[in-house]
Structures are given as structure tokens and as C-alpha cells.
Amino acid sequence: MKRGAWIAALAAAGALWGCGDGNAPAPAKAPAAGAAAAATPRLSLAAQVGEKMFADASLSGSGRLSCASCHDPKSAHAAPNDLAVQPGGVDLKASGTRAVPSLRYKEVTPPYADLLDNPDGISVPGPGGGFTWDGRAATLAEQAAIPLLAANEMANADAAAVVAKLKAGPYAQLFRSAFGADVFASDGVAFAKATQALQAYQLEDRSFHPYSSKFDLYAANKIGGNLTPAEARGLKVFTDPQLGNCASCHYHGAGLNGSSAMFTDFSYEAIGVPRNAAIPANADPAYFDTGICGPLRTDHPAAAGNTFCGMVKAPTLRNVAVRKSFFHNGVMHSLEQVIRFYNTRDTMPELWYPTVGGTPKARPDADFPTYGLVKTQYVGGSVKKYDDLPPQFVANIDTQMPLDGRQPHSAPPMSERHMADLICFLNTLTDGDLSPPPTTAACTE
């Protein structure tokens, strides 16, 4: 998707935010001090049910896994560890196939469409919206049903098994109060209400969309929201189509109640993320996760010529600085590494993909970078680029900056300073209830 004109407008808008422009988006307002109890609306009965379900490990086949186990509130409702995929199943020995995304800031996500209008109002329509990495759930309620029934997650045999646990559980009466005295008469109805309860909790509870980051203060021209020079430069790298170009997929102005940016436009991209050997499913060389084209989604067959194959959803970058695994396959484990991948995927592909037919050096040269996934330097051979995508779908790789396909060992788009400043800016997207990433001296300069 080409969004150059829109990015230029966004960069100009960024300058206006810093001046307190009257049209700047404002975050949802928190209750005034001393009046929180009176001002904070009580969760609906349905959301109260969802709150209890979210923390209830007894709803899993193992009896030891809850929604909160993988979507930890203290970790921005994402995984609390750096595992690429999480354990699950009836004995917690089964393995997932994709990294756990954060459940924060999902409230304005539209259902998936092959031709969704892009929020920027300029780009041509394309795949967008939906929940999970491939968008196969149209609502949060549909998404909630997936882990409850997946054999490698909460591992319930069927919907009736979930309903039986709810009916016998300590908040069964609350469930009846929320959904009717006879709600348990039908397993299908009760299960649908259960997933609606989880959806209501996520939509109503402020912890899923606090809009409390330094950026939100900055966007609303509030005290505490002044960006340092490094953070301001990082914002420019974020929006500059010739540098980071992050905003081309990770910006969207409509938040909750007029609050500031979502930092995703709900679009899908294929960027050639390296294969992750830590995912057990990848031990089979014939197994590929092609995102929209499956294997978890089945309505877009992985056939030659399908331009959607390899595309996965662009997640929100809110709280990205406190994540411990990145991309849909969790192959990277630091924000710096992710940014360096974007910067050098094409200029130094040998750092990210396996080399075939080369001779490994006993000791890498002193100037051989150590930040990549590949720590061995080779003489000769060829780099097996895009090793987690079947060859027939390589043409689907996005060519936007900074992943523009430039020649190996040419100059990368971003300098060391650009990347450092970009990290400083992304740190400002961390919500106020989370432990912030360590502040480096470079971010104050």
C-alpha cells in the first residue's frame, strides 16, 4: 500500500500536537482524584462475569490455565514471559503455533474484510480488521471461543464442557443474573453468553484501554507529556516514509472516546519474518504458517497466485517496548533486534536467514554484527532468504520502506542514531500502569 501523502500529513500533525493544537486527539479522561469510586462506572453484570472467567483456571482442561495466564494484566495483557509460543493442552505439554498478542486496544477493531477501507483515507482498500493474527474472528466474543476450545490451549472438549464448569462454579448465580435464570438450559446459548461476557469485560474495563502513556499526555498537551529531543526525533523517524516508515501500518487516529492513536491501521503485511525453530510445528519442513491463507484460517486456500498468502495483521505498537517476544512467531526478543531486522533484512540478510553451502568461520570478523539471529559468519554459499514462506508466495512480500529490497551490503535506510531515537519514541507508548523500560541517557538528549 502506498501512503506517502498521508504520512507527510501525519508528520505535520505530529508537529501540531506538540504545540497543543485545538484539534489534537485527547485520551479518555481518568476520574478526578478523590472521586474515582463515584466517577468510575460499575461493570455491567455481563462484564463482571467476564472478569471472573478471565482469571478462572478451572475453565481449562488442565485446570491450571486461565485467559490471564497468557494475557497477563501486568504485561499489557500479553504473555508474561519471553517464550515464542505458550504451553497448553490438558497436561500443559502441548504447544501453541503463534505468539500471544496483547488484548489491549482492541475496542475499535473492525471485522476482517479482504478489501477494508484503510483508515488513512488515501490508501487503496486491502486485507484488514478482525481478531487473531489472521483475522478469522470477527468479534472479541468469537476470539474468546478459540482458546477455550483449542486442543493446544485451554483444551475443553466442546462448548458443553465449558458450560458444565460454569454451571458448577462459584459465580453461576452471577451468570444467571446477567443472562437469565434459564440460561443454562441450552449449552449453545450459555456458551455464546460466556464469550459475550469475556467481550464485555474487555470492552468495559479500563485496564484494556487506559490511554495512559506519555504519548497520550503529549497528544493532549498535558503535564508530563513533553517529549525529549530524542523522543521527538524518534517520532519523525516513525513517520518519515524514507526512514522508519512505521506509521504506514502502525498509525490510526481513532481511539476510544476521542483518545489518541491506535498505532495500527488493522492492515495485513507479508514481511518475510525468519522461521522460528523454537516452535515445535516448524520441525516439519513442510509446515508453513501463511497467515490469512492458513493453516488456522481455512477460507483463503494457500494456492499459487493468492496474493494474501504470508500476510499477518499489523499489531498495535502500544506497549511494544515492554514486550518480550515479537512478530506472529515470536522469533525475536528485543525491540532493538526488531528495528535492526527492519533496517538490515535486505542489506545484511545473512544476519537473519540461514546460509546454504557456505563455510563457517571459526571466529567471526571483528566487525561482524552480533545483533542478528544468525551468529555464525560464512564464506561463500547463498542466503536462504524468506525461509518461512513457500517460494510461490515470495512475490507477496511488501516492498515499502525500510523493507524496500535494496541490494545486499548497500547502505541501510536508518543510521544508528535514527534507530536509537526511534526506540526512545516507542518507549513513550508504554501505559502508565506498567513498569517502564529502562531509560537510557541517549533518550534524554
H helix runs in 185-312, sequence order: 187-204, 214-219, 229-239
pLDDT in tens, 217-269: 999 989 888 999 999 999 999 999 999 999 999 988 767 666 779 999 999 99
Q: Are residues 333 and 440 both part of a single domain?
A: yes
| Other C-beta atoms lying within 10 Å of the C-beta of residue 283 | 8
Q: Are residues 295 and 391 both part of a single domain?
A: yes
Provide the terminal-to-terminal Cα distance of the chain, rounded to the nearest Å.
Answer: 34
Query: Which 3 state secondary structure label does DSSP give 174?
Result: helix
φ and ψ of 152, to 5 deg: -100, 10
Q: Are residues 201 and 215 both part of a single domain?
A: no
For residue 258, the model assigns a pLDDT of 66
CB 66 within 8 A of CB 170: no
Between vectors from CA 424 to CA 398 and to CA 26, what angle results, nearest 5°? 85
C-alpha–C-alpha distance, residues 436 and 426, integer Å: 11
Residue 106 inside a domain? The answer is no
φ and ψ of 237, to 5 deg: -60, -40
Residues of the chain by 3-state class (helix, strand, coil), percent to 5: 35, 5, 60
Radius of gyration of the chain (CA): 23
Task: Give the residue among 257, 234, 251, 267 at the shortest CA–CA distance from 117.
Answer: 267
CB 6 within 8 A of CB 122: yes
Q: Which of 182, 208, 234 is the last residue of a domain?
A: 208
Q: Are residues 3 and 54 both part of a single domain?
A: no
For residue 40, the model assigns a pLDDT of 52
C-alpha–C-alpha distance, residues 256 and 275, integer Å: 36
CATH number at residue 203: 1.10.760.10
Q: Are residues 154 and 299 both part of a single domain?
A: no
Q: Are residues 203 and 219 both part of a single domain?
A: no
CB 64 within 8 A of CB 126: no
C-alpha–C-alpha distance, residues 256 and 84, integer Å: 30
For residue 25, the model assigns a pLDDT of 33
Residue 361, phi-psi category: left (phi > 0), alpha (psi -120 to 50), beta (remainder): beta
Residue 64 inside a domain? The answer is yes
For residue 6, the model assigns a pLDDT of 34
Between vectors from CA 249 to CA 409 and to CA 247, what angle results, nearest 5°? 80
Q: Are residues 230 and 144 both part of a single domain?
A: no
Residue 357 inside a domain? The answer is yes
C-alpha–C-alpha distance, residues 227 and 233, integer Å: 9
Q: Are residues 187 and 270 both part of a single domain?
A: no
Residue 329 inside a domain? The answer is yes
Q: Are residues 368 and 381 both part of a single domain?
A: yes
C-alpha–C-alpha distance, residues 49 and 47, integer Å: 5
For residue 440, the model assigns a pLDDT of 82
C-alpha–C-alpha distance, residues 6 and 9, integer Å: 5
Task: Give the residue among 322, 238, 300 at the shortest CA–CA distance from 114.
Answer: 300
For residue 77, the model assigns a pLDDT of 98
CB 87 within 8 A of CB 62: no
Residue 368 inside a domain? The answer is yes
Kind plus residue range of the DSSP H or E element containing 360: strand 359-360
pLDDT in tens, 273-290: 999 999 999 999 999 999
Domain span at residue 199?
Answer: 43-98+133-208
For residue 260, the model assigns a pLDDT of 78
CB 329 within 8 A of CB 99: yes
Task: Give the residue among 268, 294, 280, 320 at the shortest CA–CA distance from 428.
Answer: 320
Residue 127 inside a domain? The answer is no
Q: Are residues 197 and 244 both part of a single domain?
A: no
Give the count of alpha carbons within 13 A of 364, CB side only.
14
Residue 74 inside a domain? The answer is yes
C-alpha–C-alpha distance, residues 352 and 355, integer Å: 9
Task: Tell me if the pTM is above 0.85.
Answer: yes
DSSP string of 68-101, one letter each residue: HHHSBGGGTTB-SS--SS-EESTTS-EE-SSPPP
The strand pairing partners of 150, in sequence order, are none
Q: Which of 208, 242, 265 is the last residue of a domain?
A: 208
Residue 57: which residues within 8 A CB-CB, separation 6 or more? 63, 64, 65, 66, 69
| Other C-beta atoms lying within 10 Å of the C-beta of residue 257 | 11
- The total number of structural domains in the chain stands at 2
Query: Which 3 state secondary structure label does DSSP give 37?
Result: helix
Residues (pLDDT < 50) of the chain are 1-38
Q: Tell me which long-range contacts 79-83 makes (C-beta under 8 A, separation of at least 24).
A: 79/324, 79/325, 81/324, 82/324, 82/325, 82/333, 83/278, 83/325, 83/330
Q: Are residues 315 and 358 both part of a single domain?
A: yes
C-alpha–C-alpha distance, residues 177 and 182, integer Å: 10
Q: Are residues 151 and 198 both part of a single domain?
A: yes
For residue 41, the model assigns a pLDDT of 56
Residue 258 inside a domain? The answer is yes
Kind plus residue range of the DSSP H or E element containing 355: strand 355-356
Q: Which of 186, 208, 230 is the last residue of a domain?
A: 208
For residue 14, the model assigns a pLDDT of 39
